Structure 1
Amino acid sequence: MSGRKSDVIVVGGGVIGLTTAVVLAESGLDVALWTRDPVGRTTSAVAAALFWPYRIEPAPRVDSWLEDSLRHYELLARDPNATGVRIVAGLMTDTPLDGLGRWTTKVRGLREAHTAELPPGFGQGLRAAVPLIDMPVYLRYLKERLRAAGAVVERRTVTGFAEPARDAGVVVDCTGLGARELVPDASVYPVRGQLVVVENPGVDEWFVGTVPGTTETTYVLPQPYGVLLGGSATEHSWALGPDAAEADAIVARCSRIRPALARARILEHRVGLRPARPVVRLEAVRLPGGGRLVHNYGHGGAGVTVAWGCAEEAARLVTV
């Protein structure tokens, strides 16, 4: 036990926890962040991290989170070497513009793609320039920014929220999949995703879509260290090891979009478990001892995308 008293303790060191802690600390509160895993080993560290909503509800609230988050990421993209955030153009196929929400009015260059811009077999798509984030760099940036704001980051494993509540008047639950046991909340479940990192054969734009004849979403995301190829979405799977057959299928699908990827040298395999829930839980409740517990979890595959908007809403719940 540290014996240190804080205004707020944020539990969870992924992108949701880090971002929430940054917002709170920069508002002037005394903040501690408790994380079971090193920041670089959280699920967020292997996220594909393209700014686009994926497997997240409820839609009316997501819309405002997207607008707030996009504003932050565009500011961070002014210094990509420090933050890991870049604005990159690309193509989102089979996604009608109607019904996406008002956040799309803030997206640079968003328009219907011309037929000549679509890969063979695709009938519709959207062109846009959106944030694409190098997560290892970005997580280091958030951690440094948090410490610069005076917050303390501690490696701590908790079995319940009573423990942090002894050291702070407000606890913020950003535990992702951990909420399944800690809350406990049986509606939280993993959606396993696998990625393949390859050397870049000249890809400078991102692509997301479902290749004709397949069911999984395919994505090609150029990062400074290579190209991220994906993906998969296996519900209720806790398997963290890469699957060789799945990796081969990912490379084959991506190569149909960019043939040069078939010959690209494989650098790394990545697997992460998205913390899914029917809807995001972002609300304040009372703890048995009288303290306040703010839940901020269940972001599915859009944690990076909505992190700033959710952090700002969580901060309002902390201070009311």
Structure 2
Amino acid sequence: MSSDVIVVGGGVTGLTTGLTLAEAGNLVRVWSREAAESTTSAVAGALWWPYRVEPEELVGEWSLTSYQVYEELAAKPEETGVRLVGGVHADTSPAGLGAWAAELPGLRETATGLRAVLPLIDMPVHLRWLRERLAAVGTTVENRGITDFAEPASEAGVVVNCTGLGARELVPDAAVRPVRGQLVVVENPGIEEWYTAADPASSATTYFFPQPRGRLILGGTAEEDDWSLTPDPRTAEAIVGRCAEVRPEIAGARVIGHRVGLRPARTGGVRIEAKPLPGDGLLVHNYGHGGAGVTVAWGCAEAVAGLVGREGR
């Protein structure tokens, strides 16, 4: 089968990019080494917010583009997995944010921090919605990994690299590194708003996100260069303890499960760049989103579509 575009990577970045390119009129296929529910995206807490992501001068625009999409998708939360939920970023003020913050509706400073109503995403539902949208526009998602870009380049004129942490070996790009995040899922004791308290200088963070079906996601960690996917019991206990200091009822909540994901960070920030491939092909990179893959997904997808369009394909 010959395609205009092959997107490599089946997490939220790859699926969103594939959908954006397909809706722009390209014939698209998505190749993914693993099913979407097995990707880092599937275990994300998934609150929209530009967190641990660069470059600063571009992230704001990408994030706002995504916000506008999620705001529309929140009209059908059961279908899309997107809801608009209120909460507080503790110890945060507008002065510490970029110009993008002025464009967020309802953002206000309070005695406890920065209050906002933001998109909060149920990732398994959202990833399923993305796959269904892709299928509706004729895009196939294939269980297929690669060891170099020559393979997809032999079948499509444009290859888009959305491999996340895999880009470290595939590109190769030594600037890509993991930032380990561990979460605890508990039965929600009645908490309706999200809360975050994240110190960029610390590997320990505190947050909780209410999700549908009676779940509350507790976090977390940001452990750089840690490749372990095994939940650590002591870390889990510390996460519950920190969250319970904010909301004491969390201490007695029944633990449902544990999650670990490796955020695909990159020194220098997100890489969106077009490179030539042998035989007049085009390789477009879209990786290095760190802890903000969901936040910038649609904005980055539009940036990729712009590069593909400028090449006349």
Q: Secondary structure at the match of 2:159?
A: strand
- Contact 2:86 2:194 (C-alpha < 8 Å) held by counterparts: yes
Report the residue type matching 2:55 in the other structure.
P
**Which stretch of the first structure deviates more once superposed, 258-267 or 96-105?**
96-105
Give the letter for the 1:198 counterpart. V
What is the CA–CA distance in structure 2 between the aligned matches of 1:141 and 1:100, rounded to whole Å? Answer: 31
Q: Secondary structure at the match of 2:34?
A: coil
1:197 aligns with 2:185: yes
CA offset at residue 99 of structure 1?
4.1
C-alpha distance 162-100 of structure 1, shift in aligned 2 (>3 A): same
Q: Is 1:266 equivalent to 2:255 in the alignment? A: yes
Match of 1:217, SS state, is strand
Say whether 1:277 aligns with 2:266: yes
1:136 aligns with 2:124: yes
Distance apart, 1:106 and its partner CA = 3.0
Partner of 2:144: 156
Q: Partner letter of residue 67 of structure 1?
A: L
The one of 199, 206, 221 aligned to 2:209: 221
TM-score after normalising by structure 2: 0.96
**In 1, Cα distance between the equivalents of 2:240 and 2:281?**
50
Q: Assess, with a 3 A threshold, how the Cα gap between structure 1 residues 210 and 308 changes in structure 2: closer, same or farther.
A: closer
Cα shift at 1:157: 1.0
Match of 2:302 in 1: 312
Q: Which amino acid aligns with 2:53?
A: I
Q: In the alignment, does 2:25 pair up with 1:36?
A: no
Question: 2:46 is matched with which residue?
Answer: 49
Unaligned runs of 5+ in 2: none
Alpha-carbon shift at residue 156 of structure 1 (Å)? 0.4
1:108–1:130 CA contact under 8 A, matched in 2 = no
Residue 12 (1) aligns with residue 9 (2): yes
1: CA distance, partners of 2:138 / 2:25: 9
SS at match of 1:73: helix
Q: Letter of the aligned partner of 1:140 in structure 2? A: R
* Secondary structure, aligned partner of 1:98: helix
Deviation at 1:210, TM superposition (A): 4.5
1:110 counterpart residue number? 107
User: 1:253 is matched with which residue: 232, 238, 242?
Assistant: 242
Q: Which residue of 2 aligns with 1:186?
A: 174
Specify the SS of the correspondent of 2:124: helix
| Matched length | 306
Deviation at 1:98, TM superposition (A): 1.5
Q: Percent identity?
A: 61
The answer on whether the counterparts of 1:194 and 1:271 sit within 8 Å (CA) in structure 2 is yes
Query: Can you list the C-alpha shifts for 1:188-233, whole angstroms capped at 9, x where unaligned?
Result: 000010000000101000000159xx86220010001300000001
Task: Look up the match of 2:87.
Answer: 90
Amino acid at match of 2:286: N
Partner of 1:311, secondary structure, is helix
Contact kept? 1:280, 1:296, Cα under 8 Å: yes
Deviation for aligned residue 1:102: 2.7
User: Helix, strand or coil for the counterpart of 1:269?
Assistant: strand
1:121 — aligned with what?
Answer: none
Could you tell me how far apart the structure 1 residues matched to 2:252 and 2:105 are? 33
Give yes or no for the alignment of 1:230 onto 2:227: no
Which residue of structure 2 aligns with residue 122 of structure 1?
none
Distance 1:150 1:282, change over 3 A: same
Q: How much has 1:318 moved relative to structure 2? A: 1.1
The one-letter code matched in structure 2 to 1:312 is E
Question: How far apart, CA to CA, are the structure 2 residues paired with 1:32 and 1:302?
Answer: 24
CA distance in 2, matches of 1:229, 1:108: 26
Number of the residue aligned with 2:63: 66
- Structure 1 residues 40-79: Cα deviation after superposition (integer angstroms, max 9, x where no partner): 1110000110001111110011011011011000000010
Q: What is the deviation of 1:93? A: 1.2
Is residue 201–residue 261 contact of structure 1 (8 Å, CA) maintained in 2? yes
Match of 1:243 in 2: 232
- SS at structure 2 position matched to 1:239: coil
Q: Output the CA distance in 1 between the equivalents of 2:96 and 2:194.
A: 22
Q: Are positions 1:100 and 2:97 aligned together?
A: yes
Cα RMSD (Å) of the superposition? 1.1
Letter in 2 for 1:243: D
Q: Distance in 1 between matches of 2:101 and 2:68?
A: 12
Q: Which of 157, 162, 166 is residue 174 of structure 1 equivalent to?
A: 162
The aligned amino acid for 1:315 is: A
Q: Residues of 2 paired with 1:228 and 1:262: CA distance?
A: 13
Q: Does the residue aligned with 1:108 lie in a helix, a strand or coil?
A: coil
